Amino acid sequence: MTKAGTKIDPKQLGIKQNPDTDKLLESAKATSTYDTAVKTVLSTLLQDYLDSLKQVYKETSNSKLKKILDANFSAGKTLIIQADNVSV
């Protein structure tokens, strides 16, 4: 994204960190529900990521960036489909 002219504030990267997720996974590890918890967390995070990509896509007029966002969106959708087909 930086190559496409988008500036990223390091503080914004930290916004997505969630200590509750760490606690949830630690608890799931202790109760033998880790696989299910990881699947749920990853699906949620992937969907949030795709929503963010859609938002940036709508807000930019840079065709190169749109192409990158579109490729990333397609890859993210593939990951969600694959995650949904994993049995735990």
Q: What is the pLDDT along the chain (88 residues), one digit of tens a residue?
A: 667 777 777 777 666 778 899 899 999 999 999 999 999 998 999 999 999 999 999 999 999 999 999 999 999 999 999 888 877 6
What's the pLDDT score for residue 2?
66
**25 Rama class: left (phi>0) / alpha (psi -120 to 50) / beta:** alpha
What's the pLDDT score for residue 1?
62
State the amino acid at position 23 in one-letter form: K
Quick one: angle between helices 63-84 and 34-59, nearest 10? 160
CB 6 within 8 A of CB 66: no
Q: Which two tokens stand for residue 44?
A: 């949620």
